[in-house]
Amino acid sequence: MREALYMIDADEIYVVPDFISEGYFTQDVIPRELELTGPTTVVRGKTLHYCLPVGVHRSMTGLILHRAKEVAPNVNPAETTLIITGHGTGLNQNSTKAIRDQAELIAASGAGYAAVLDAYMEEQPFIAQWDELANTPNVIVVPFFISDGLHSFQDIPVLLGIENEVGPAASQRDAFRQNPHHLRSKTLFYTSAIGTDRLMADVILDQISDFDQEHKSL
């Protein structure tokens, strides 16, 4: 990362962390590697603007709704529970906060879902208990990760009951892509990670725009 500046000719640079939440990497590692001392830093003659992570931007709410509608276009939201799921860990409370914030924003958005919940792999409420958490016949689960990987492709499908055990990447099996799944007397829709949505590019630009409004207008 510290070599990036040598590969950029521009005098002005925006740095947008492609992370779901604020934490060790966005608050310590990236600033250290790029020698950042604040929102705007001049490093070796170049002006660097350091934006917030994409995952904390309010535009993420629209992405989650878009992904949920995409995977279950004909489902009545009033008969559906939307669950946003993540890893969950006592080491970084910011990750769960970002998911809780999104659940609250969507619940208040008028999207019409019967319930909007947060659930986690390793802390309560557990995503493995999705059928107990949801009181509706339809359930949509959206993984709040930047990219698809072991968690979204392998671990969470097992916790949901889509797969019996962790094996080859679920992305390599047709069954993973066959929504809906009829499990535990409910109809379950499972999407790929939110960060894979093509609209993520717009969120990156939104963070840059917000940075300019907050800092360049001063």
pLDDT in tens, 147-174: 887 788 888 999 999 887 665 554 555 4
In the chain, the percentage of residues whose pLDDT exceeds 70 is 90
User: What is the CATH number for 12?
Assistant: 3.40.50.1400
Q: Kindly report the pTM of this predicted structure.
A: 0.86
Q: How confident is the model at residue 175 (pLDDT cuts 50, 70, 90)?
A: very low
pLDDT in tens, 112-129: 999 999 999 988 999 999
Residue 101 sits in the same domain as residue 209 = no
* Res 2: pLDDT: 86
Residue 81 sits in the same domain as residue 142 = yes
With a cut of 50, say whether residue 40 has pLDDT above it. yes
Residue 134 sits in the same domain as residue 28 = no
Residue 90 sits in the same domain as residue 124 = yes
User: In angstroms, rounded to a whole number, what is the distance separating the alpha carbons of residues 116 and 119?
Assistant: 10
Domain that holds residue 81: 57-196
Q: How many domains does the chain have?
A: 2
* Whether the Cβ atoms of residue 189 and residue 75 lie closer than 8 Å to each other: yes
Mean pLDDT value of segment 88-93:
66
Tokens of 155: 């671990």
Give the strands of the sheet with 80-86, arranged side by side. Answer: 115-120, 80-86, 138-143, 186-190, 181-183
